[in-house]
């Protein structure tokens, strides 16, 4: 937290707006909207619920197919299953580690050939790195299949100077405790389409019809953000740009002092991308004697936590029976990669401790 969140939370308590309704929710939505091309925003209780609602709003039904990035956190794909739809996982390309546009097109063509055109594409910007958005949108437009951008890890990232989350039919953000800013738990769904977002707000508050009594014509959800959490979000949005700056500083620091080790490569921006570098991630050369797991275990012995990269969805037991289009990229990255400590409260000394530990391993 920064200095101002408590001020806004105190304001909530003074006005007694302790509910999934209240002025701070609207204020938080307004701030998010300003940051994102004045798109409409629905503040929700998680990024997962935002993905779930986006699929419902696009009319995805039980038995439908939905294309989805394989290299991601399970929350991207789980909502597809909530609906009873079938995820079809698409592997990555090495440049951004995100969905490979060629594989996506191949998958769509094959599915259309057998008479089963997919209903949506869930595109992730993993670790804050924007995907190959133009190429993905070209495919999406060619076959008229809408894109949901899972920008849960990419708040503050841009592609060709425009914010991630503003390219698809929907953008999804998360304010979970581990994300670049947090409301303890929370999320947002954004869209250029106002009608979609007002429907999202209606569905997220139990789909109550406009009647004095409680009348329901549709199944609803309890997915609205709490006003207390929204107040935290208002304060957090004030520090988003400084958090992005710090994440990028940490990334630069690691790169500067570790790039002398030939065996270590970083996930780097291409000319279109500005990443929030939510996490600094590395991959270890396959010929290296010191493996990613050696680094992780050594850091752990020093009481420093680092983590493997996300295990791709097409390798997860729970999605065993789901279709996938693979090219070995995410599998390979998972085998060789590592997330380095990237918390914005890290001091130079702490980052340097990680650097020195890794250097020591490679000097042996
Ligand atoms: C965190 C995350 C989500 C889910 O967000 P929650 O707010 O935790 O539900 C979805 N996708 C990705 C890629 C994430 O990292």
- Asked if residue 364 has pLDDT above 80, the reply is no
The predicted structure's pLDDT at residue 307: 98
Q: Which residue has the tokens 């390979």?
A: 332
Q: Is the minimum distance from the CB of 46 to ligand 1 under 6 angstroms?
A: yes
> How far apart (Å, rounded) are the C-alpha atoms in residues 92 and 330?
6
Q: Is 153 in the pocket of ligand 1 (CB under 6 A)?
A: yes
What is the distance in A from the centroid of ligand 1 to the CA of 20?
20
What would the mean pLDDT of 227-247 be, rounded to a whole number? 98
User: pLDDT, tens digit, for every residue of 141-189?
Assistant: 999 999 999 999 999 999 999 999 999 999 999 999 999 999 999 999 9
Q: Is residue 114 over pLDDT 90?
A: yes
**Helix/strand/coil for 152:** coil
Specify the length of the chain in residues. Answer: 364
**Dihedral of alpha carbons 6, 7, 9, 14, sign:** positive
Q: Burial of 304 by CB count in 10 Å (0-12 exposed, 13-18 middle, 19+ buried)? A: middle
Rounded CA gap, 305 and 334, in Å? 17
pTM of the model: 0.98
Each residue's pLDDT tens digit, 320-355:
999 999 999 999 999 999 999 999 999 999 999 999
What is the pLDDT, as a whole number, of residue 37?
Answer: 97
Does ligand 1 come within 6 angstroms of the Cβ of 183? no
Cα 358 to chain center, whole Å?
A: 28
Contact call for residues 22 and 227 (beta carbons, < 8 A): yes
Pocket test residue of 47, 72, 275 for ligand 1, highest count of atoms within 8 A of CB = 47
Q: How many CA atoms lie within 13 A of 198 on its CB side?
A: 4
Beta bridge partners of 291: none
Q: Is 48 in the pocket of ligand 1 (CB under 6 A)?
A: yes
Distance of CA 40 to the CA centre of its chain: 19
Pairing mode, if any, of strands 162-163 and 170-174? unpaired
Report pLDDT for 262: 97
Which residues neighbour 59 within 8 Å (Cβ) at sequence distance 6 or greater?
A: 119
Query: Mean pLDDT across the chain, nearest whole number?
Result: 97
Please give the pLDDT value at position 314. 98
Q: Is the pLDDT of residue 20 over 90?
A: no
Q: Would the CB of 352 count as within 6 Å of ligand 1?
A: no
Residue 41 has pLDDT above 80, yes or no: yes
Q: Please classify residue 23 by burial: count the beta carbons closer than 10 Å to its beta carbon, then call 0-12 exposed, 13-18 middle and 19+ buried.
A: middle
Chain segment 278-316, per-residue pLDDT in tens = 999 999 999 999 999 999 999 999 999 999 999 999 999
pLDDT band at 196 (very low <50, low <70, confident <90, very high): very high
Q: What percent of the chain has pLDDT over 90?
A: 99
* Distance of alpha carbon 292 from alpha carbon 338, whole angstroms: 6
């Amino acid at each position: 937290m920064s200095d101002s969140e408590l001020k806004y939370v105190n304001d909530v308590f003074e006005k007694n707006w302790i509910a999934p309704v209240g002025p701070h929710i609207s204020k938080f939505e307004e701030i998010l909207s300003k940051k994102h091309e004045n798109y409409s925003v629905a503040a929700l209780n998680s990024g997962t619920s935002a993905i779930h609602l986006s699929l419902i709003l696009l009319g995805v039904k039980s038995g439908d197919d939905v294309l989805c990035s394989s290299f991601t956190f399970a929350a991207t794909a789980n909502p597809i299953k909530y609906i009873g739809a079938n995820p079809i996982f698409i592997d990555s390309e090495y440049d951004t580690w995100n969905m490979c546009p060629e594989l996506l097109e191949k998958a769509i063509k094959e599915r259309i050939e057998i008479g089963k055109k997919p209903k949506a594409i869930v595109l992730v910007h993993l670790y804050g790195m924007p995907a190959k958005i133009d190429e993905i949108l070209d495919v999406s437009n060619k076959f008229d299949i809408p894109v949901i951008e899972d920008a849960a890890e990419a708040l503050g990232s841009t592609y060709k100077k425009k914010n991630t989350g503003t390219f698809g039919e929907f953008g999804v953000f998360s304010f979970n405790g581990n994300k670049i800013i947090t409301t303890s738990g929370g999320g947002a769904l954004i869209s250029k389409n106002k009608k979609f977002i007002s429907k999202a707000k209606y569905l997220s508050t139990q789909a109550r019809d406009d009647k004095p009594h409680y009348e329901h014509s549709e199944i609803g959800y309890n997915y609205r953000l709490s006003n207390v959490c929204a107040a935290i979000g208002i304060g957090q949005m004030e520090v988003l740009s400084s958090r992005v700056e710090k994440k990028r500083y940490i990334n630069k620091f690691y790169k500067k002092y570790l790039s002398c080790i030939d065996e270590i490569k970083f996930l780097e921006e291409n000319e279109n991308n500005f990443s929030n570098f939510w996490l600094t991630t590395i991959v270890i050369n396959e010929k290296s004697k010191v493996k990613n797991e050696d680094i992780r275990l050594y850091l752990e012995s020093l009481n420093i936590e680092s983590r493997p990269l996300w295990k791709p969805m097409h390798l997860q037991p729970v999605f065993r029976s789901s279709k996938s289009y693979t090219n070995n990229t995410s599998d390979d990255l998972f085998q060789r990669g590592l997330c380095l400590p990237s918390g914005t409260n890290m001091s130079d000394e702490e980052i340097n401790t990680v650097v020195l530990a890794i250097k020591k391993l490679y000097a042996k």
